[in-house]
């Protein structure tokens, strides 16, 4: 029997009113907004300093600038298709992204990808806190790194606790000031530096080109575990196409513009200079002085947008794990707030420790490693939802481990591990390079192999074994 701990029934309209929904389905009476909100949110989330750093990393890996821009574009498109397909599940199901993974992995089996997702959120939280701690210290002339990190951690907590509506508002603000702020940096870069010198510095390399593709694809795919969390409040009549295209265009356009700027900065200013002081270098390019301070504010606001998503998503994942055993659909506001605060505190502690030893190299390895563990999960979720279940889900059964979705779905779990394992020979990362990657000159195509193998094995097995209801079952919560 499912236990429900109710809060209030109807949320007020104010953006500063705390969200009451957690992992349960959002009833139709509380649906609002339109798909254009997805464009502004994901454009703002991607138009940020870490995406600029990601573009610069492509150059440090030895990719020629034009090849890096093209490779990043291909990766953003491929990864953007994946994350936008996940986003399109939100209006139909009305539940957080990782709750829907219980369809494939089982109510308790979904904890496996969830643990990895929580690690991802912690990693991105920490890197954001380090960078924005630097920016806040530069704004106020502070010398102690910990102060800026604590301030940014507190801001993140407030936005995540308030929840969905405020996150979307911050996203819209970030979209506008990000476009203006980083656009201004781009203009200053062209006026003050020889940007043409960024091109042709090295010869084209297929291996480094594929690495640029993987960087951008990995960037986009890491949004997949929480992207539907921010489309689930849209009316259920919202079409798949409208949600897909607004999410896709916002995410790909924002990321590509930021990453391209990173490539040009690394190529013309110097990759070493920029990567040793990302925040400070952007301030210097902007012109220093008051303009630099304004630039630091832009950095903080845009990182606040994505960091709030990480805190909110981390909370959802933690809640999804333990409610698989407690069979709860809802929790109290105090539990919700406690999880978010605890998660952010842990991220701040991790950021402070990482800042002592430097984090950029760890971040680079982290992004590439994440691609290997999230691709199989994403493939299984999308193949099941669009090709097997065909958008038909028994939502009440997602909260009952003794129901038709069972506690563990070993077919999906086995295919997931297979999808991770087949990547090993093709992988080229800092700590490990597979024999086939060596044979291909260092090109990392492991994520492509994972997509093909996971889909080819999972589809026929799930077709014969997966429970599929005759229609979408909402449980009468509308």
The string of pLDDT tens digits covering residues 193-234 is: 999 999 999 899 888 999 899 889 989 998 998 899 999 999
Identify whether the C-beta of residue 286 lies closer than 8 Å to the C-beta of residue 64. no
Tell me the average pLDDT of the chain: 88
Buried b or exposed e, range 146-164, using 16+ CB within 10 angstroms: eebbbbbbebbbebbbbbb
pLDDT band at 189 (very low <50, low <70, confident <90, very high): very high
From residue 385, alpha-carbon distances to 79, 188, 242, 380 in Å are 18, 46, 18, 8
Place of tokens 């339109």: 34
CA of 407: how far to CAs of 102, 183, 327, in Å? 9, 50, 11
Which tokens in the block code for residue 48? 């940020």
What integer pLDDT is reported at residue 1 of this predicted model?
35
Q: What is the pLDDT of residue 359?
A: 57
Domain 36-465, classified CATH 1.10.4160.10, yes or no = yes
Q: Which two tokens stand for residue 281?
A: 């270098």
Integer CA distances (angstroms), 451 to 51, 84, 220, in order:
24, 16, 15
The 8-class DSSP code of residue 27 comes to: P
Q: Indicate the burial class of 11 (C-beta count within 10 angstroms; 0-12, 13-18, 19 or more).
A: middle
Which residues lie below 8 Å from residue 113, measured CB to CB, with a gap of 6+?
Answer: 98, 101, 105, 225, 373, 374, 377, 416
Q: pLDDT tens-digit profile of 93-134?
A: 999 988 999 999 999 999 888 888 888 788 888 888 888 998
Q: What is the pLDDT of residues 237-288, one digit of tens each?
A: 999 999 999 999 999 999 999 999 999 999 999 888 888 888 999 999 999 8
Q: Estimate the crossing angle of helix 145-162 against helix 111-140, to 10 degrees.
A: 130
Is 90 exceeded by the pLDDT of residue 20? Answer: no
Say how far apart CA 73 and CA 301 lie, in whole Å: 25
Q: How far apart are CA 317 and CA 97, in angstroms?
A: 9
Q: Which is higher by pLDDT, 335 or 191?
A: 191
């Amino acid at each position: 029997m499912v236990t429900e701990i109710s809060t209030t029934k109807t949320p007020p309209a104010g953006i500063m009113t705390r969200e009451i929904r957690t992992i349960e389905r959002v009833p139709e009476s509380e649906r609002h907004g339109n798909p254009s909100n997805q464009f502004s949110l994901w454009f703002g989330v991607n138009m940020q300093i870490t995406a600029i750093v990601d573009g610069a990393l492509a150059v440090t890996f030895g990719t020629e600038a034009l090849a890096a821009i093209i490779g990043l574009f291909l990766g953003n498109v491929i990864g953007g298709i994946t994350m936008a397909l996940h986003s399109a599940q939100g209006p139909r199901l009305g539940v957080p992204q990782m709750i829907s993974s219980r369809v494939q992995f089982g109510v308790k089996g979904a904890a496996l990808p969830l643990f990895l997702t929580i690690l991802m959120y912690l990693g991105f939280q920490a890197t954001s806190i380090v960078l924005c701690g630097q920016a806040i210290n530069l704004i106020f002339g502070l010398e102690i790194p910990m102060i800026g990190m604590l301030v940014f951690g507190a801001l993140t907590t407030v936005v995540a606790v308030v929840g969905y509506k405020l996150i979307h508002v911050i996203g819209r603000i970030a979209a506008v000031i990000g476009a203006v702020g980083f656009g201004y940096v781009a203009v200053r870069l062209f006026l003050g530096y020889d940007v043409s010198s960024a091109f042709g510095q090295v010869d084209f390399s297929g291996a480094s080109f594929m690495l640029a593709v993987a960087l951008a694809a990995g960037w986009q795919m890491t949004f997949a575990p929480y992207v539907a969390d921010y489309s689930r409040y849209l009316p259920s009549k919202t079409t798949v196409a409208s949600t897909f295209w607004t999410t896709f265009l916002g995410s790909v356009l924002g990321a590509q513009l930021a990453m391209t700027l990173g490539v040009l900065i690394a190529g013309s200013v110097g990759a070493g200079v920029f990567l040793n002081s990302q925040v400070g270098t952007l301030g210097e390019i902007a012109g220093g002085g008051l303009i630099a301070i304004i630039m630091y504010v832009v950095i903080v606001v845009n990182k606040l947008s994505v960091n709030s998503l990480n805190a909110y998503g981390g909370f959802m994942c933690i809640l999804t794990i333990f409610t698989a055993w407690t069979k709860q659909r809802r929790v109290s506001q105090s539990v919700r707030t406690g999880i978010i605060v605890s998660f952010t505190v842990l991220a701040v502690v991790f950021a402070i420790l990482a800042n002592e030893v430097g984090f950029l190299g760890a971040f680079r390895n982290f992004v590439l490693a994440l691609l290997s563990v999230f691709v199989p999960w994403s493939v299984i979720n999308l193949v099941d939802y669009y090709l097997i279940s065909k958008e038909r889900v028994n939502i009440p059964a997602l909260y009952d481990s003794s129901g038709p979705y069972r506690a563990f779905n070993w077919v999906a779990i086995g295919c997931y591990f297979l999808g991770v394992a087949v990547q090993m020979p093709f992988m080229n990362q800092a700590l490990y390079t597979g024999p086939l990657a060596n044979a291909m000159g260092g090109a990392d195509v492991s994520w492509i192999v994972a997509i093909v193998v996971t889909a080819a094995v999972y589809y026929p097995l799930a077709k014969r074994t997966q429970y599929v209801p005759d229609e979408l079952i909402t449980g009468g919560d509308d």
